[in-house]
Chain A
Amino acid sequence: MEHQVHKFSTEEIAEWLTQKMASELAISIHQVHPDTPFADYGLNSMAALNITGEMEEWIGTDISATLLWDYPTITSLSEYLSKIEVSFA
C-alpha cells in the first residue's frame, strides 16, 4: 500500500541546506543566512544545482535540477520542499 506524507518540516530542510551551503563554501554555518540568495555567496549558479542531486537522495523523491533558480534562498527553497509529498510503499 502506498501513502503520501510530507517527509520533512521547513525547519529541518532549512537546517540541512544551511549545513550543505556551509560545507560547500567552507564557511561557518553562522555565516549562512536564510534570506540571502545563493548567488550572493559567490556560488556558481550551475555548481549550486548539484545540491539537488543530494537533496533528492535525502528527501527521497525527484527534484527539478533548476529548483535553486526558482527558489533562490534557503527560506524559499525549504518552504517549497516542505510541501512536497513523498510516496512510501
Chain B
Amino acid sequence: MHSPETHTRILTQFDKAQELETFLGNPLNADTVLSFEHSVALDEQEAYPEQCIQLLNDWGLHQYYIPEQLGGKLRSIEELFSMARTISRRDLTTVISHAVTFLGAIDIWIGGSFEQQKALAAMIKERKIIALSLTEKKHGSDLMSNEVCAEAYQEGYKINGEKWLFNQAHNSSAVTMLVKTDTSNTPRSYSLFFINKDEVATGQLSSIGKIKTHGVRGMDMGGLTLQDAILPKETRIGKKGAGLEIAIKGLQVTRMLCASFSMGAMDTALRTVIQFAVQRELYGDSIIQMPRYKNSLVKIFTKVLISECLSFTSARALHVIPKQFTVISAIVKSSVPVFSEAVLQELTHLFGARYYLREEFNFGIFQKVLRDNATVSLFDGNTAVNQHAILLQLKYLAYNRSKEWNNRSAQIIENHAVIYDLSAPLPSLDFSKLDVISKGKDDLIFGLKMATEKITQELEETPLDHCLLQRIQQCLQKIEIKQKALDATLLSDEVQLGNVYAIPALYYTYAEQYGYFHMAASCVQIWHHNKTVVHEHFNSPVWVLACLTFICEALDITVNPLTESEEDLIVDAIVELYHKNQLFSIIPQSLAV
C-alpha cells in the first residue's frame, strides 16, 4: 500500500494544483475569498468576481498561460488541467473568467509572430485580460458564414460589424478576433486579428453591454461593435486567410480546459450530496445504505472516473501525438461536459428538494453549480460541433485501421507507454505540431485492442481478481466486436459525407460510439499502467469493470450488471474519499482543510 504523500511526489504534475488548493483554502470556510458563500452571493448579484480573479493573479495563475520559452510557466497541459480543476470545484464563474486569457492567447502562441508573442506575454504578465471572439449572432457555430469584414485600408485594415457572445467582451484589454478578409466564402476567407483596445481610436470599438445568462451570472458575457475600426496590418495573426486554420488548432487545446471545468463541477456537486447523504437518515437508517441510492451513486461515480481517465489520457496525448489531437480533443469535449451534465442531473434525485433551494446546504452551491456547469458544453464548439469534427474523419480512421489493426507499429506502442503511464516524463508542448485533421491516424484507438491483451497478460500473471479480470476481458472483447462492426459500416459505401447540413443524424451516433471506444481504452490502460500510484481504493479493477459496464450499456451491449458487493466497494471508496477530504479522483489529492 502506498501513502498519498509518496504518490504525489511521483506524480509531480499535480503538485501545483495541490499548492493552489492549499492557498485557496476550504471553500466551506466563509472566510476564504473563493468560498461557496462568497461565490453564491456574487452570483445572486450577477457581480463579476473581481476579488477572486485578483487572488488567482496574486498566486500567479496567469503565468501558466504563457509558454516557458516566452518567460511564462506553461509547460504541461496536465498541470494546467489540474490547476483549473482545483478552481472549478470552487467557482466556475471565476475560473472561466480567468482562463479566458488562455483562450485569447493560444492563437498567438500557435500562429503569431515572435513580436506578437512577446507583446502578448508582456500584457499577460501585467495581468491584462485577453478575450477570444469567433462567433456572430446570426451564424453561431457556422463560422464560415460570419460577416464581420476587414477591408484593406491604407497600410492596414478597416473592420465593420458586430461580434457576439463571448466572455470578457467588456473587461478585456485585447481581443483575438476572427474576421472575414476577402469577399469569397472559402476556408481561406478569414483571418485572425489581435486587437489591443487601447490602440483603437475612440468610437471605433464599443461594447454592446452585458448579456445576462442562466448560470455563471457574474461573467462578463457580451459582444463588440466595430465601426470603421482602423487596424495596422501587424495586428493580423499569421498569413492572410490563416484565421480558420489557427482557430481550429487553438480550440483543440482549450477543450482540455473545458474538461477541467466539468471535473471541478462534478466534484463539488458529488461532495455536497455525499455530505448530505452521510448525515441523512430515513426509515431508521442512513440513506446512503439504501440499495437504490448506492446503485445510483455507482452510476454517477463511474461517469466521474471515465471522465477523469479520458481527460488524463488526452492531456498527455497533446504532448505526445499533437498531430492527432483534432480527434482526441473533440472526443473529450463532446463527452466530459455531457457526462457532467448527466452526473449533476442524476445527483438532483439523490439530493432531493435541496437541489432546488438557493440558500440551503452549503449556501445553495449545488443549484449554482448545476446552472454554471450547463454552459461548459457550449464553449469551444458545442457537442454537435465536436461530434461533427470526429465523424468527418471516421471513415479515414477506419481505413487506416483496416491496414494496421493486427500489425501496429512500434511507435504506437511507445506512445502508449508514455501517454498511459502517468509517471512517465512527457515531451515538451509544441503547438506548432497541431493540425486541422489527423490524416487517418489515431494511436489511442489501438489502446482498445491492447487493453484486451493487457488484461489477458494480467490473468496469466496475477493470482488476484481473476473473476473481475475475466469480466473485464469479456466487456473488452464485446466492445472490440462493436468497434469492428462500426469500421465495417464506415468502410462501406453507405457512409458518404456531403455538406454539413445534410449529414444524417445516425453519423453523429457513430462519433459518439467512437468516443466510447476511446473511453474504454483509457480506463483499462490507466488502471493497468498506474496501479502503484493510484489511490489504494483503485488498486482493485472493480472500478474499471464499473466503467466498462456503463460503456457497454451505452453501446447497447448486454453485460451482467455489477453485483451488490461490487457496488458496495465503489460506494465505500466514495465515502472514504469524502471522509478523508480527498478529491474524487483515482489519484490521491488532499483538499484544503
Interface residues of A (CB under 8 A from B): 24-26, 37, 39, 42-47, 49-50, 52-54, 56, 65-66, 69-70, 72
Q: Which residues of B contact A72 (CB under 8 A)?
A: 186
CB contacts (< 8 Å) of B440 on chain A: these are: 50, 53-54
Min Cβ gap A24→B in Å is 8
Contact present for A69 and B496 (CB under 8 Å): no
- Indicate if the CB atoms of A26 and B496 lie closer than 8 Å: yes
Partner of B435 from the list A39, A54, A65 (CB cut-off 8 Å) is A65
Contacts of A50 in B (CB 8 A): 392-393, 395-396, 437, 439-440
Q: What residues on A are CB-neighbors of B400 within 8 Å? A: 53
Evaluate contact between A69 and B437: CB separation under 8 angstroms: no
Contact present for B436 and A46 (CB under 8 Å): yes
B497 at interface by CB-CB < 8 Å: yes
Closest B residue to A64 using CB positions: B435
Interface residues of B (CB under 8 A from A): 144, 186-188, 245, 389, 392-393, 395-396, 399-400, 435-441, 493, 496-500, 502-503
Known: A50-B395, A53-B437, A65-B436. Contact between A45 and B497, CB under 8 A?
no
Contact of B392 among A39, A42, A46, A70 (CB under 8 A): A46
Beyond A50-B439, A52-B439, A66-B245, whether A45 also contacts B396 by CB under 8 A is: no
A26-B493, A44-B498 given; A70·B188 CB < 8 A: yes
Instruction: State the main secondary structure of chain B at its contact with A.
Output: loop
What would be 24 A-B contacts, judged by CB atoms less than 8 Å apart? A25-B498, A26-B493, A42-B498, A43-B497, A43-B498, A43-B499, A44-B498, A44-B499, A45-B144, A46-B392, A47-B497, A49-B436, A50-B392, A50-B396, A50-B437, A50-B440, A52-B439, A53-B396, A53-B440, A53-B441, A54-B440, A56-B439, A65-B436, A65-B437
Chain B residue with the shortest CB-CB distance to A39:
B186
Instruction: Say yes or no: A69-B439 contact (C-beta < 8 A), given A44-B499, A44-B500, A53-B396.
Output: no
Q: How far is the CA of A49 from the CA of B496 in the complex (A)?
A: 15
User: CB-CB < 8 A to A54: which residues of B?
Assistant: 396, 399, 440
Q: A54 to B402: give the CA distance in the assembly, Å.
A: 14
A37 to B499, CA, bound (A): 14
Question: How many angstroms from the CA of A47 to the CA of B399 in the assembled complex?
Answer: 14
A40 to B456, CA, bound (A): 51
- Most chain B CB inside 10 Å of its own CB: which residue of A37, A39, A69: A69
Whole-angstrom CA separation of A53 from B498 in the bound complex = 19
Chain A residues positioned under 8 Å from B395 (CB to CB): 50
- B-side contacts of A52, CB under 8 Å: 437, 439
Known: A45-B187, A50-B439, A53-B441. 14 other contacts (CB 8 A): A25-B496, A25-B498, A26-B493, A43-B498, A46-B392, A46-B436, A47-B392, A50-B437, A52-B439, A53-B438, A53-B440, A54-B399, A54-B440, A69-B245
| Chain A residue nearest in CB terms to B435 | A65
Chain A nearest CB, measured from B210 CB (Å): 34
Closest B residue to A72 by CB, please name it. Answer: B186
Contacts of B500 in A (CB 8 A): 44
Which residues from A are CB-within-8-Å of B188?
Answer: 69-70
**A40 CB, min distance to chain B CBs, angstroms:** 11
Q: Given the complex of chains A and B, what is the CA–CA distance between A69 and B242 in angstroms?
A: 10
**Which A residues are in CB contact (< 8 Å) with B499?**
42-44
What is the CB-to-nearest-CB distance from B53 to chain A, in angstroms, rounded to a whole number? 36
- For A46, A53, A54, A70, which residue has the most chain B Cβ atoms within 10 angstroms? A46
CB-based contact B392/A44 at 8 Å: yes
